[in-house]
Amino acid sequence: MTPRRRSGSAGQPQKEHKETRGLPTGVQWITVDPDMAGQRLDNFLMARLRGIPRSKIYRIVRKGEVRVNKGRVKPDTRLQAGDQVRIPPVVKPEKPTSSIPGDRVQAVMENAVMFENDELLVVNKPSGIAVHGGSGLSFGLIEVLRAARPEARFLELVHRLDRDTSGLVMVAKKRSTLRFLQDELRRREVHKHYHALVSGHWSAGVSEVSEPLLRYEMTNGERRVRVDTDGKPSLTRYRVLDTWPGYSLVEASPVTGRTHQIRVHCAFAGHPIAGDDKYMDAASQRAFRRLGGNRLMLHARSLEFRLPGGEQWLRLEAPYDEAFTQVLAALTR
């Protein structure tokens, strides 16, 4: 990547343009202030291009239409105070009239809050709800929370869960909290533990899977992940919690945080997660449906992390939803 150089604001066209559907119609030059230092470029752009699909934001970065200090950059580039960010004009797609989360879904999300203080929210996200809108979805968890809390000046996801995975998600209420917890995640000081119902008998002797993972796109544009020597190093630790004929309940603790990591590592070990329509074979899916299963059986069960501003540690545990509980009950019967 081309070395990044600092450039002052002199000579940069600080343009003001009329706006179309809430977005400027011309090129923007934005100076990164100290409060935003350390933020990833893709998150920086998402905050300024509300309503633009993430896929489109990644596309304009890849094409070089977004520049930092006049140089091409990658979506995961960390911005520094004083950096000059060029943002091209982007047309915001028309929103459907049903894009505003209704009172019912807002109430569901508010009732799912497991912890809250002045800096942080932790939510037990239901399966089937994405963490953010886009890719054909009008809204996700973060949009619902913002609609339910119009007085909140700042609400941003600290990390993500797949749409069909339920369980604990952290949402920062301050930018300083967001930076602190994301730094803790990078330093692997946040401990995540998932519960997964997998196909087959998981041997107690298999305590970890450490296969490299590579993201790729299928011909229809769907995102997938596979074990590949060209992929990123990945490690998931496992512990058997219970077994039934044909199924095992395991605790999966990801040391790294790759896309679909637990799902692909389980499938690689020969034990795909029940209800996984991406990595489970069709015959196993049919058997799971006969059991009454209708969701991905992966749940972000617990989180252990330090609260910002001190040495106090917090441990939270999220209960299973009704669908997850019913499958386990059916196996026990």
* 296 phi and psi angles, rounded to 5 deg: -70, 125
CB 125 within 8 A of CB 131: yes
- Name the active-site residue from 83, 162, 276, 321: 162
* 18 phi and psi angles, rounded to 5 deg: -65, 155
The 3-class SS string of 47-76 reads HHCCCCCHHHHHHHHHCCCCEECCEECCCC
Active-site residue 242, yes or no? no
**Residue in the structure block whose two tokens are 């979805």:** 137
Strand-strand pairing, 208-209 and 298-306: unpaired
Using only C-alpha atoms, the chain has a radius of gyration, in whole angstroms, of 21
Residue type, 59: R
Other C-beta atoms within 10 Å of 4: how many? Answer: 16
Where does residue 19 rank: exposed (0-12), middle (13-18), buried (19+ CB within 10 A)?
exposed
69: tokens are 């200090």
How does DSSP assign 80-102, residue by residue?
Answer: -TT-EEEE---PPPPPPTT-SPP
Sign of CA dihedral 174, 58, 64, 87: negative
Catalytic residues: 162
